[in-house]
Chain A
Amino acid sequence: MNQIAPTLNSAKSSTGIADRLYRRIRGIRGWLLGLIVIVWSLPTFGLLVSSFRSRDDQRSTGWWEVVGGVDRLTLDNYRTVLGSTSSAKIKDSLVNSFAIAIPATIIPIAMAAAAAYAFAWIDFKGRKWLFIATVSLLAIPLQVALIPLLQLFVSGAHLSLPFTSKTVTLIPNFDLAGSTTAVWLTHAGFALPFAIFLLHNYIASLPKDLFEAARIDGADHVTIFWRLVLPLSVPVLAAFAIFQFLWTWNDYLVANTLVGSNPDAMPTTIRIANLAGDFGRNENLLPAAGFAQAFVPLLVFFLLQRYFVRGLLAGSVKG
């Protein structure tokens, strides 16, 4: 539509009424869009303003009355929230969020890239079926795996031998329950089917000649993967990385299940949800805490929007 607008304008300029009507419709559209944008940003904007208002101001008047007293805005809430003595402990939880989101992004990318390469360019028996089976796992909601995973992290994995009353320990209890490690391990596992699917689509579409030429030059799979496939896949790797980073940073369900009430491992989402839970007492800190939590995703969003959208478009299928 963008490209044809000028031709349309010039075509209609000959007939005066139609031209005016068209412009008016365009005008209404613009106003309507503006209105929607305002309505859509209002909640976030309101919270942003609130986060700079003192406790008394927040309790007595609506945030829109800030117009009369811009000079009353204060950074106190942020100081309290990010201070190390604060009971909100947002600072610690930010570290925990990074401790979850970074490995939960890097490790599945590495594994999925290797697997996607194998599915795309290594010939083996049953390749197609294995790939379909892997991708089909996208259909499993997180909830279905959570109970056994919590049990795994609490007590390890033990196999009862059939027809006997003996059990063999396959995975000992590493005492991971309530740690960030448990959370990122789980995220890494959950992310893999989607990551494999996404990366496979891209890697499989790389030109075949490239691989044949490399093969003729005597390169083995590791070399091809490391020197050729990974550098060429940077766009899709970045798209997935951003998607996965935001997903894990913003996750609440997995973290809440596996970290639970361990204050040393809580990521930001649990912290602010808990802060919201104790009604009244710290309510004035909630807006600032919310923005401290949302700062990283918003930064990623505004700086890397193109990759973000690409990852989102591709990630729209994730279960």
Chain B
Amino acid sequence: MGKVWSTLLTVAIAVSVTGALWVAANLAFNQVRVEWRRFVAIAYGAMGFLLGILVAGNRVTVHSQAGFLAFVWLPSLLAVVFAVVGVAINLSNSPRLKRAIGIGSGVGIGVLLGLLVREQYQPALSVGPLLGWTIGGALVVAAINNLRKRNPISGALVGGAIGAIFGGWGSAQLGSGTIVESILAMTIPAMLMGARVGLSSTPDSIGKARIDRRSRVVIFLGPALFFISIALVIPAIRTFYLSLLDARSKKFVKLDNYLETVKAKASWDSTKWTDMFTSRLFYMGIIALAVAVVVGVIAKKRTGRAVEIGNSTVAPLVVGVLLVLFAAFTSFRGTIVNNLWWVVTVVFFSTGLGLAIAVLADGAKHEKLAKSLIFMPLAISLVGASIIWRFMYVPRDATIEQTGVMNAVWVGLGRLSTGSGLPTIIGTVVIGVVLLGLVVVFGRALAKRAWARAALPGIGTALVGWFFVRYTGIIGAGVGGFQVKADGSIVPQAIGFFQEAPFNNVWLMVILIWIQAGFAMVIFSAAIKGVPTEILEAARVDGGTPSQIFWRITLPQIATTIGVVVTTLIVLVMKVFDIVKVVTNGNFGTQVLANDMYFQAFQSGNTGRGAALAIILFVSVLPVMIFNIRRMQSES
């Protein structure tokens, strides 16, 4: 198992080197109070080392090309030289001597570096830019320092040094100069910096304390902020920049990538949107909405409010809206539509199921076990969950047995429905009994003129009644997975859950609902347990029924939590990737934004489009995230 050991070793080295660097930095700054000169030596040495890395790392100097040792000698040398200079400046007391040491060692280091510059880097100096940059830099930084009420002279020296680097190296033609020119180009900034260092004075004890305190801020925050900026901030800015360039990041194309993405037929296809008005979902939705209106009118007469949390208008209203939305999502097609569909469906069903299960489980027998079993999918990766459901959905040839649960049930239902034996009759009886029960409940509510309470059983009766009619073959040939051949024979037929658009999207969403309902449940469960028992007890003493207590007390109490779950899920679902990537890879009309981004950026090599999609994703979750972060901050 060599791989295990080498991996462990890498991990151990990474962790211990990081830790050692951190401890070393702390020890170094401990010297500020203990032994100032030692601190100066360490600090100057570190600066010299960094400068050496920058110079040698960019292969500017001779003998810096091949191998680690060849690369590391210059940084080490500069570290020693800088440390000595630093200590020397701090040892001397007179300002004049300090200045002399600073300028002298600046010149020395400049000459040394200039001598070491490789031939192909020797700059062809021209006086104009060199002077212009140097003076310009000096003036700018001096002015800034003046505004900040700092010493303008030291600012001028630093600015001049930076300007001289730009003027001597940046604007010059590299490789066509002489060694004298490279010495000059190195010496001018080095001398200016040396003069600036010569101005510094040894701080008194208050100054030392300030350095000590500030250093801790940097040491404690530095690593995290450095990492964040490299892994997150700079890449995010760069992605935005890339999204304005073409596929190969060569040409500036303004907002073309965004416009192309939005206009593409693959993103937003409304050619068949009128199909919506002929779809069954739409009619069912309209019926449910009509029921909601009727119930609402009655409820308004009775209680003065048409729609109220927990009253009977809500159920048909929600069902109606969902059905109409589904009708719209199946008629409008494209990546953006799919994403919206995902968000609506997964957020609604995960939250609803999570809440229902949390209420059901609260105080039930074996509550903990039940909850952990429902919660378990959350520990499994999305890839793993996709595989689990692939086996649930797998369709088999009609001639062999179905091995996926869903198709086994569906084909089995078809067999039952179209068959004629005892099982079929038992099926008819079972569905009939359920239907009868619903009719009784519905009828009783009607008889009592409790119109509002009749809404849900009414919808149930309609659905089960329709199913009954189909099952028994009163309308159509039956229900389930079968196909009537031309010669009248009936053969089983499985559903290709992942291939048959547009509802394959829904079957993919089921996977995420299966996972996220557990998440919602755990959060709701904790919130429900947090509702003060005194309030619940008081409500009970006042004669509130369990349903009244739930809708009027528990639900308002956990409203914030519902908000948390909904917003969290919106963000999560908006970025859905793994499931789509693993199961269909966006084929069969299941493409979503995140997978399209992956495809564009990493598979088809269109960096611009990929970056634009990433930014679109970012912008679309931004409002919700801002809301979320605001809430988090007000909580903490």
Interface residues of A (CB under 8 A from B): 1-5, 7-8, 25, 29-30, 32-34, 36-37, 40-44, 46-47, 50, 58-64, 92, 95-96, 98-99, 102-103, 106-108, 110-112, 114-115, 117-119, 122, 124, 130, 132, 134-150, 152, 161, 163-164, 166, 168-169, 171-172, 180-181, 185-186, 188-190, 192-193, 196-197, 200-201, 204, 220-222, 225, 246, 249-253, 256-257, 260, 269, 272-273, 276, 286-287, 290, 293-294, 297-298, 300-302, 305, 308-309, 312-313, 316-317, 319
Contacts and interface: CB of A to CB of B under 8 A. Distances in A.
A107 B391 contact: no
A148 B233 contact: no
B82 interface: no
* Dominant secondary structure of chain B at its interface with chain A: helix
Contacts of B22: 110, 114
Interface residues of B, number: 121
A108 to B, nearest CB: 8
B387 interface: yes
B140 to A, nearest CB: 13
12 contacts: A4-B537, A62-B402, A62-B408, A63-B391, A108-B227, A115-B224, A124-B217, A273-B582, A297-B380, A297-B381, A308-B379, A313-B523
A110 B523 CA distance: 28
Contacts of B621: 139, 141, 319
Contacts of A180: 7
A33 B361 contact: yes
A241 to B, nearest CB: 14
Contacts of A225: 220
B544 to A, nearest CB: 12
A161 B133 CA distance: 14
Interface in B353-387: 357, 360-365, 370, 372-374, 376-384, 386-387
Contacts of A134: 224-225, 228
Contact of A4 (B225, B365, B383, B533): B533
B526 to A, nearest CB: 7
B583 to A, nearest CB: 8
A46 B392 CA distance: 8
A293 B238 contact: no
B239 interface: yes
A61 B404 CA distance: 9
Given A147-B611, A222-B26, A139 B622 contact: yes
Given A135-B629, A293-B381, A122 B401 contact: no
Given A62-B405, A95-B7, A149 B231 contact: yes
Contact of B239 (A46, A136, A144, A190): A144
Nearest to B607: A147
A134 B374 CA distance: 35
A99 B618 contact: no
A251 B577 CA distance: 11
B601 A272 contact: no
Contacts of B389: 43
A136 B614 contact: no
B473 interface: no
Contacts of B582: 252, 273, 276
A312 B372 CA distance: 13
A192 B228 contact: yes
B57 interface: yes
Given A140-B232, A192-B224, A253-B598, 20 more contacts: A4-B537, A44-B388, A47-B387, A47-B391, A61-B403, A63-B391, A132-B633, A138-B625, A138-B628, A144-B617, A168-B58, A190-B232, A225-B220, A250-B381, A276-B387, A287-B387, A301-B376, A312-B378, A312-B519, A316-B519
A44 to B, nearest CB: 6
The 5 closest A-B pairs by CB, nearest first: A189-B231, A250-B381, A118-B220, A164-B170, A139-B625
B7 A150 contact: no
Given A62-B404, A290-B387, A118 B216 contact: yes
Contact of B617 (A114, A118, A141, A305): A141
A308 B519 CA distance: 11
Contacts of B529: 1-2
Contacts of B400: 60
Interface in B241-270: 242
Interface string B612-628: 01110110011001101
Given A122-B216, A293-B384, A193 B238 contact: no
B602 A150 contact: yes
A144 B408 CA distance: 42
Given A111-B223, A122-B220, A316-B565, A99 B11 contact: yes
A114 B380 contact: no
Contacts of B386: 273, 276
A317 B569 CA distance: 9
Nearest to A115: B224
Residue among B19, B380, B529 with max Cβ neighbours from chain A (10 Å): B380
Given A1-B362, A141-B575, A221-B216, A135 B632 contact: yes
Contacts of B219: 114
A286 B387 CA distance: 8
A115 B220 contact: yes
B3 A92 contact: yes
Contact of A294 (B57, B379, B622): B379
A212 to B, nearest CB: 16
A146 B528 CA distance: 39
A1 B236 CA distance: 47
B514 interface: yes
Contacts of A188: 227, 231
A276 B383 CA distance: 10
A139 B232 CA distance: 11
A279 to B, nearest CB: 10
A103 B242 CA distance: 30
Contacts of A110: 18-19, 22
B536 A4 contact: yes
Contacts of B610: 147
A106 B15 contact: yes
Contacts of B373: 37, 40-41
B384 A114 contact: no
A6 B384 CA distance: 43
A37 B625 contact: no
B387 A272 contact: yes
Nearest to A32: B360
A194 B14 CA distance: 22
A112 B224 CA distance: 6
Nearest to B541: A11
Nearest to A197: B632
A143 B617 contact: yes
A145 B231 contact: yes
Contacts of A290: 384, 387-388
Contacts of A114: 22, 219-221, 223-224
A44 B224 contact: no
Contact of A63 (B58, B360, B380, B403): B403
Nearest to A102: B11
Contacts of B227: 108, 111, 188-189, 192
B572 to A, nearest CB: 9
A58 B396 CA distance: 12
A309 B365 CA distance: 20
A58 B546 CA distance: 47
